[in-house]
Amino acid sequence: MPSMQSGPGSKRPVTLDDVARYAGVSQPTASRVLNGSARKVAESYRERVLAAARQLGYTPNLPAQAMARGTSRTVALVISLISDPYFSAMAAEIMKQAEAIGLHVSIAVTERHAERELDLVRELRGQQPRAIILAGTGYVDPPSEQDLVDELRRYEETGGRVVLISRSDLPFETVDFDNHEGARSLARELAGLGYHRCLVLGIATPLLSMQQRVEGFVQGLRDSGAGDPRVEQLSFSWVGARDFVLSLTDDELRDLQLVFAITDDMALGALDGLRTRGLRIPEDIGVAGFDDISTLRDVVPKLTTVHVALNAVAEEAIYRATTADTELTRRTAPAYPVVRASTPPLTP
Protein backbone atom coordinates (compact mmCIF):
# COMPACT_ATOMS: atom_id res chain seq x y z
CA MET A 1 0.00 0.00 0.00
CA PRO A 2 1.33 3.50 -0.82
CA SER A 3 2.16 5.92 1.95
CA MET A 4 0.13 9.08 2.43
CA GLN A 5 -0.22 12.04 4.76
CA SER A 6 -3.90 11.74 5.71
CA GLY A 7 -5.05 9.21 8.29
CA PRO A 8 -4.54 8.96 12.02
CA GLY A 9 -3.07 12.23 13.28
CA SER A 10 -3.91 14.06 10.05
CA LYS A 11 -5.68 17.39 10.40
CA ARG A 12 -8.18 16.75 7.60
CA PRO A 13 -10.83 13.98 7.54
CA VAL A 14 -9.99 10.80 5.68
CA THR A 15 -11.99 10.57 2.45
CA LEU A 16 -13.10 7.67 0.31
CA ASP A 17 -10.47 8.70 -2.27
CA ASP A 18 -7.80 8.40 0.44
CA VAL A 19 -8.92 4.86 1.22
CA ALA A 20 -8.95 3.92 -2.46
CA ARG A 21 -5.42 5.25 -3.03
CA TYR A 22 -4.12 3.58 0.15
CA ALA A 23 -5.67 0.26 -0.87
CA GLY A 24 -4.48 0.57 -4.47
CA VAL A 25 -7.96 0.27 -5.96
CA SER A 26 -10.30 2.59 -7.84
CA GLN A 27 -12.65 4.91 -6.00
CA PRO A 28 -15.78 3.08 -7.30
CA THR A 29 -14.37 -0.20 -5.97
CA ALA A 30 -13.74 1.30 -2.54
CA SER A 31 -17.24 2.80 -2.58
CA ARG A 32 -18.85 -0.56 -3.38
CA VAL A 33 -17.08 -2.16 -0.43
CA LEU A 34 -17.74 0.57 2.14
CA ASN A 35 -21.15 1.83 1.01
CA GLY A 36 -22.89 -1.53 0.78
CA SER A 37 -23.36 -1.77 -2.99
CA ALA A 38 -25.18 -4.78 -4.41
CA ARG A 39 -22.38 -5.24 -6.98
CA LYS A 40 -19.83 -7.84 -5.91
CA VAL A 41 -16.17 -7.03 -5.38
CA ALA A 42 -13.33 -9.57 -5.50
CA GLU A 43 -12.50 -10.80 -1.99
CA SER A 44 -8.86 -9.73 -2.28
CA TYR A 45 -9.92 -6.16 -3.14
CA ARG A 46 -12.54 -6.17 -0.41
CA GLU A 47 -9.98 -7.16 2.24
CA ARG A 48 -7.56 -4.48 1.05
CA VAL A 49 -10.23 -1.77 1.21
CA LEU A 50 -11.43 -2.78 4.67
CA ALA A 51 -7.86 -2.94 5.97
CA ALA A 52 -7.11 0.51 4.56
CA ALA A 53 -10.29 1.95 6.09
CA ARG A 54 -9.40 0.53 9.51
CA GLN A 55 -5.81 1.76 9.35
CA LEU A 56 -6.77 5.25 8.21
CA GLY A 57 -9.73 5.56 10.60
CA TYR A 58 -12.18 6.20 7.78
CA THR A 59 -15.75 7.08 8.83
CA PRO A 60 -18.48 6.84 6.16
CA ASN A 61 -20.50 9.97 5.36
CA LEU A 62 -23.94 8.58 6.14
CA PRO A 63 -26.00 11.45 4.64
CA ALA A 64 -23.97 11.17 1.43
CA GLN A 65 -24.59 7.42 1.35
CA ALA A 66 -28.30 7.99 1.80
CA MET A 67 -28.37 10.46 -1.09
CA ALA A 68 -26.35 8.15 -3.33
CA ARG A 69 -28.57 5.13 -2.67
CA GLY A 70 -31.84 7.03 -2.38
CA THR A 71 -32.35 5.57 1.08
CA SER A 72 -30.71 5.10 4.46
CA ARG A 73 -30.15 2.31 6.95
CA THR A 74 -31.18 4.62 9.81
CA VAL A 75 -34.63 5.06 11.33
CA ALA A 76 -35.08 8.18 13.48
CA LEU A 77 -37.15 7.67 16.62
CA VAL A 78 -38.52 10.83 18.27
CA ILE A 79 -39.78 10.20 21.82
CA SER A 80 -40.86 12.32 24.77
CA LEU A 81 -38.48 11.13 27.50
CA ILE A 82 -35.82 8.43 27.55
CA SER A 83 -35.93 8.35 31.37
CA ASP A 84 -39.61 7.38 31.36
CA PRO A 85 -39.88 3.56 31.73
CA TYR A 86 -42.58 3.35 29.08
CA PHE A 87 -40.61 5.28 26.46
CA SER A 88 -37.36 3.48 27.25
CA ALA A 89 -39.16 0.16 26.77
CA MET A 90 -40.67 1.44 23.53
CA ALA A 91 -37.24 2.52 22.26
CA ALA A 92 -35.78 -0.89 23.13
CA GLU A 93 -38.51 -2.70 21.19
CA ILE A 94 -38.13 -0.39 18.18
CA MET A 95 -34.35 -1.00 18.15
CA LYS A 96 -34.86 -4.75 18.41
CA GLN A 97 -37.26 -4.85 15.47
CA ALA A 98 -35.07 -2.55 13.35
CA GLU A 99 -31.87 -4.48 14.00
CA ALA A 100 -33.62 -7.70 12.96
CA ILE A 101 -33.80 -6.33 9.40
CA GLY A 102 -30.40 -4.64 9.37
CA LEU A 103 -31.42 -1.09 10.27
CA HIS A 104 -30.06 1.28 12.90
CA VAL A 105 -32.10 3.55 15.16
CA SER A 106 -31.18 7.09 16.19
CA ILE A 107 -33.09 8.56 19.14
CA ALA A 108 -34.13 12.17 19.66
CA VAL A 109 -35.90 13.36 22.83
CA THR A 110 -38.48 16.17 22.90
CA GLU A 111 -38.75 16.54 26.70
CA ARG A 112 -42.49 16.93 26.00
CA HIS A 113 -42.02 20.31 24.29
CA ALA A 114 -43.94 20.78 21.03
CA GLU A 115 -41.50 23.40 19.73
CA ARG A 116 -38.54 21.12 20.38
CA GLU A 117 -40.30 18.34 18.47
CA LEU A 118 -40.63 20.67 15.49
CA ASP A 119 -36.94 21.66 15.69
CA LEU A 120 -35.87 18.01 15.85
CA VAL A 121 -37.92 17.09 12.79
CA ARG A 122 -36.31 19.96 10.86
CA GLU A 123 -32.86 18.68 11.79
CA LEU A 124 -33.74 15.09 10.93
CA ARG A 125 -35.11 16.08 7.53
CA GLY A 126 -31.63 17.34 6.64
CA GLN A 127 -30.08 14.05 7.76
CA GLN A 128 -32.39 12.05 5.47
CA PRO A 129 -33.14 8.97 7.60
CA ARG A 130 -35.14 6.21 5.97
CA ALA A 131 -38.09 6.93 8.26
CA ILE A 132 -39.12 9.16 11.15
CA ILE A 133 -41.15 7.52 13.91
CA LEU A 134 -42.88 9.93 16.29
CA ALA A 135 -43.64 8.08 19.52
CA GLY A 136 -44.15 11.09 21.77
CA THR A 137 -47.68 11.81 22.92
CA GLY A 138 -49.45 14.50 20.92
CA TYR A 139 -50.79 17.67 22.50
CA VAL A 140 -54.48 18.46 22.88
CA ASP A 141 -53.95 21.87 21.23
CA PRO A 142 -50.38 21.95 19.87
CA PRO A 143 -48.99 25.45 19.19
CA SER A 144 -47.12 24.44 16.03
CA GLU A 145 -49.14 21.56 14.55
CA GLN A 146 -49.36 22.90 10.98
CA ASP A 147 -45.64 23.73 10.92
CA LEU A 148 -44.88 20.16 12.03
CA VAL A 149 -47.18 18.70 9.37
CA ASP A 150 -45.50 20.87 6.71
CA GLU A 151 -42.02 19.72 7.74
CA LEU A 152 -43.05 16.06 7.69
CA ARG A 153 -44.74 16.47 4.30
CA ARG A 154 -41.53 17.96 2.86
CA TYR A 155 -39.62 15.02 4.28
CA GLU A 156 -42.05 12.56 2.65
CA GLU A 157 -41.60 14.34 -0.69
CA THR A 158 -37.92 13.33 -0.62
CA GLY A 159 -38.87 9.65 -0.20
CA GLY A 160 -38.98 9.35 3.59
CA ARG A 161 -41.67 7.58 5.60
CA VAL A 162 -43.48 9.02 8.63
CA VAL A 163 -45.03 6.74 11.26
CA LEU A 164 -46.86 7.81 14.41
CA ILE A 165 -47.26 5.69 17.53
CA SER A 166 -50.36 6.20 19.67
CA ARG A 167 -51.21 9.71 18.55
CA SER A 168 -54.06 10.83 16.35
CA ASP A 169 -53.26 14.53 16.07
CA LEU A 170 -51.34 14.31 12.77
CA PRO A 171 -52.41 12.99 9.31
CA PHE A 172 -49.78 10.26 8.85
CA GLU A 173 -49.40 6.48 9.13
CA THR A 174 -50.39 5.49 12.65
CA VAL A 175 -49.91 2.48 14.90
CA ASP A 176 -52.28 2.95 17.77
CA PHE A 177 -53.39 1.40 21.01
CA ASP A 178 -56.67 2.44 22.52
CA ASN A 179 -55.88 4.52 25.59
CA HIS A 180 -59.53 5.39 26.19
CA GLU A 181 -60.87 1.85 25.87
CA GLY A 182 -58.01 0.32 27.87
CA ALA A 183 -58.68 2.67 30.80
CA ARG A 184 -62.45 2.25 30.45
CA SER A 185 -62.18 -1.55 30.56
CA LEU A 186 -59.94 -1.36 33.63
CA ALA A 187 -62.41 0.90 35.45
CA ARG A 188 -65.28 -1.46 34.70
CA GLU A 189 -63.36 -4.44 36.04
CA LEU A 190 -62.35 -2.60 39.19
CA ALA A 191 -65.88 -1.35 39.76
CA GLY A 192 -67.01 -4.95 39.49
CA LEU A 193 -64.57 -5.81 42.29
CA GLY A 194 -66.19 -3.20 44.51
CA TYR A 195 -63.98 -0.14 43.93
CA HIS A 196 -66.30 2.87 43.73
CA ARG A 197 -64.57 5.66 45.67
CA CYS A 198 -61.60 6.34 43.40
CA LEU A 199 -58.91 8.97 42.98
CA VAL A 200 -57.60 9.47 39.41
CA LEU A 201 -54.14 10.98 39.08
CA GLY A 202 -53.95 12.79 35.74
CA ILE A 203 -51.48 15.43 34.56
CA ALA A 204 -51.56 19.18 34.09
CA THR A 205 -49.68 18.92 30.74
CA PRO A 206 -52.27 18.78 27.89
CA LEU A 207 -51.11 15.49 26.34
CA LEU A 208 -53.79 13.83 24.21
CA SER A 209 -53.22 10.17 25.12
CA MET A 210 -53.04 10.93 28.83
CA GLN A 211 -56.31 12.86 28.65
CA GLN A 212 -57.87 9.89 26.88
CA ARG A 213 -56.85 7.63 29.75
CA VAL A 214 -58.48 9.90 32.32
CA GLU A 215 -61.66 10.20 30.27
CA GLY A 216 -61.78 6.45 29.64
CA PHE A 217 -61.44 5.59 33.33
CA VAL A 218 -64.13 8.09 34.33
CA GLN A 219 -66.43 6.70 31.64
CA GLY A 220 -65.84 3.13 32.82
CA LEU A 221 -66.86 3.98 36.37
CA ARG A 222 -69.97 5.75 35.11
CA ASP A 223 -70.87 2.77 32.91
CA SER A 224 -70.70 0.57 36.00
CA GLY A 225 -72.83 2.84 38.15
CA ALA A 226 -69.90 3.62 40.45
CA GLY A 227 -70.28 7.37 40.09
CA ASP A 228 -67.66 9.97 39.27
CA PRO A 229 -64.17 9.68 40.75
CA ARG A 230 -62.07 12.52 42.11
CA VAL A 231 -59.74 13.64 39.30
CA GLU A 232 -56.57 15.58 40.02
CA GLN A 233 -54.13 17.08 37.48
CA LEU A 234 -50.56 17.12 38.73
CA SER A 235 -46.92 16.91 37.71
CA PHE A 236 -46.25 14.12 35.20
CA SER A 237 -43.78 12.11 37.27
CA TRP A 238 -43.22 9.56 40.02
CA VAL A 239 -42.36 12.41 42.38
CA GLY A 240 -45.46 14.38 41.41
CA ALA A 241 -47.74 11.46 42.27
CA ARG A 242 -45.95 10.76 45.54
CA ASP A 243 -46.02 14.40 46.63
CA PHE A 244 -49.72 14.72 45.88
CA VAL A 245 -50.59 11.63 47.92
CA LEU A 246 -48.52 13.00 50.79
CA SER A 247 -50.51 16.24 50.64
CA LEU A 248 -53.86 14.50 51.25
CA THR A 249 -55.46 14.69 54.68
CA ASP A 250 -56.14 11.59 56.76
CA ASP A 251 -59.88 11.99 56.17
CA GLU A 252 -59.36 12.18 52.39
CA LEU A 253 -57.27 9.02 52.42
CA ARG A 254 -59.77 7.12 54.61
CA ASP A 255 -62.52 7.92 52.13
CA LEU A 256 -60.66 6.34 49.19
CA GLN A 257 -60.81 2.73 48.05
CA LEU A 258 -58.51 3.07 45.01
CA VAL A 259 -55.86 5.29 43.44
CA PHE A 260 -55.60 5.01 39.66
CA ALA A 261 -52.64 6.75 37.98
CA ILE A 262 -52.47 7.21 34.20
CA THR A 263 -48.99 5.63 34.04
CA ASP A 264 -47.35 2.85 36.02
CA ASP A 265 -44.51 5.19 36.94
CA MET A 266 -46.96 7.57 38.60
CA ALA A 267 -48.78 4.64 40.22
CA LEU A 268 -45.50 3.54 41.83
CA GLY A 269 -44.96 7.07 43.12
CA ALA A 270 -48.48 7.03 44.60
CA LEU A 271 -47.83 3.63 46.15
CA ASP A 272 -44.70 4.94 47.85
CA GLY A 273 -46.61 7.96 49.15
CA LEU A 274 -49.40 5.79 50.54
CA ARG A 275 -46.93 3.58 52.36
CA THR A 276 -45.18 6.63 53.76
CA ARG A 277 -48.55 7.67 55.16
CA GLY A 278 -48.79 4.30 56.91
CA LEU A 279 -51.33 2.64 54.61
CA ARG A 280 -51.06 -1.02 53.61
CA ILE A 281 -51.46 -2.03 49.96
CA PRO A 282 -53.95 -3.56 49.24
CA GLU A 283 -55.44 -4.10 52.71
CA ASP A 284 -56.20 -0.39 53.25
CA ILE A 285 -56.35 0.88 49.67
CA GLY A 286 -55.92 -0.42 46.12
CA VAL A 287 -53.56 0.99 43.46
CA ALA A 288 -53.64 0.64 39.65
CA GLY A 289 -51.70 2.06 36.72
CA PHE A 290 -51.38 1.92 32.93
CA ASP A 291 -48.66 0.57 30.56
CA ASP A 292 -47.52 -2.68 32.25
CA ILE A 293 -43.84 -1.67 32.25
CA SER A 294 -41.29 -4.45 32.75
CA THR A 295 -40.11 -3.19 36.15
CA LEU A 296 -43.49 -4.11 37.64
CA ARG A 297 -42.16 -7.65 38.05
CA ASP A 298 -40.19 -6.38 41.05
CA VAL A 299 -43.14 -4.61 42.72
CA VAL A 300 -44.92 -6.06 45.75
CA PRO A 301 -47.84 -6.48 45.63
CA LYS A 302 -48.08 -7.04 41.88
CA LEU A 303 -49.63 -3.94 40.31
CA THR A 304 -52.95 -3.96 38.48
CA THR A 305 -52.54 -2.12 35.18
CA VAL A 306 -53.41 -1.94 31.49
CA HIS A 307 -51.09 -4.02 29.34
CA VAL A 308 -49.80 -2.42 26.14
CA ALA A 309 -48.29 -4.86 23.62
CA LEU A 310 -45.16 -2.82 22.87
CA ASN A 311 -43.59 -5.64 20.86
CA ALA A 312 -46.55 -5.66 18.48
CA VAL A 313 -46.53 -1.85 18.31
CA ALA A 314 -42.80 -1.77 17.50
CA GLU A 315 -43.04 -4.54 14.90
CA GLU A 316 -45.88 -2.78 13.09
CA ALA A 317 -44.14 0.61 13.28
CA ILE A 318 -40.94 -0.73 11.70
CA TYR A 319 -42.92 -2.54 9.03
CA ARG A 320 -44.74 0.67 8.11
CA ALA A 321 -41.47 2.59 8.18
CA THR A 322 -39.88 0.29 5.60
CA THR A 323 -42.68 -1.03 3.38
CA ALA A 324 -43.48 0.35 -0.06
CA ASP A 325 -47.20 -0.21 0.57
CA THR A 326 -49.02 3.13 0.54
CA GLU A 327 -52.51 1.71 1.21
CA LEU A 328 -52.05 0.79 4.86
CA THR A 329 -54.91 1.35 7.29
CA ARG A 330 -54.69 2.37 10.93
CA ARG A 331 -53.56 -0.55 13.11
CA THR A 332 -54.63 -0.74 16.74
CA ALA A 333 -52.47 -2.94 18.98
CA PRO A 334 -53.93 -4.67 22.06
CA ALA A 335 -54.34 -2.72 25.31
CA TYR A 336 -56.23 -4.61 27.98
CA PRO A 337 -56.57 -4.65 31.79
CA VAL A 338 -54.53 -7.05 33.91
CA VAL A 339 -55.90 -7.34 37.45
CA ARG A 340 -53.28 -8.31 40.01
CA ALA A 341 -52.76 -8.41 43.77
CA SER A 342 -52.83 -4.62 44.30
CA THR A 343 -56.63 -4.62 43.73
CA PRO A 344 -58.23 -7.74 45.28
CA PRO A 345 -62.04 -8.00 45.45
CA LEU A 346 -63.47 -5.86 48.23
CA THR A 347 -65.56 -7.45 50.93
CA PRO A 348 -69.07 -5.93 50.89
User: What is the DSSP code string of 86-121?
Assistant: HHHHHHHHHHHHHHTTT-EEEEEE-TT-HHHHHHHH
- Pairwise CA distance, residues 247 & 231, whole Å: 15
Do 301 and 279 touch, CB atoms closer than 8 A?
no
pLDDT tens digits, one per residue of 118-160: 899 999 988 889 999 998 766 655 556 788 899 999 998 888 9
pLDDT in single tens digits along all 348 residues of the chain: 444 444 444 456 788 888 889 999 888 888 878 766 556 778 888 889 889 888 888 876 655 555 444 467 899 999 988 888 888 899 999 999 999 999 999 999 988 787 888 899 999 988 889 999 998 766 655 556 788 899 999 998 888 999 999 877 788 888 888 899 999 999 999 999 999 999 999 988 777 888 999 999 999 999 999 989 999 999 989 999 999 999 999 999 999 999 999 999 999 999 999 999 999 999 999 999 999 998 898 999 999 999 998 888 999 999 999 887 777 667 788 789 999 999 999 986
On whether the pTM is more than 0.85, the answer is: no
pLDDT value at residue 196: 96
Residue 242 near residue 272 (C-beta atoms within 8 A):
yes
Considering just the CA atoms, what is the radius of gyration of the chain in Å?
A: 26
Identify the bridge partners of residue 333 per DSSP, sorted by sequence position: 177
**DSSP category for residue 139:** B
Residue 64: its pLDDT value, please?
Answer: 54
In order of their start, the domains of the chain are 16-60 (1.10.260.40), 71-177+311-333 (3.40.50.2300), 179-308 (3.40.50.2300)
User: Among residues 164, 123, 124, 118, which one has the least CA distance to residue 145?
Assistant: 118
Sheet containing 286-288: order of strands: 230-234, 198-203, 258-261, 286-288
Residue whose C-alpha is closest to residue 193's, from 267, 283, 286: 286
Query: What's the confidence (pLDDT) of residue 66?
Result: 52
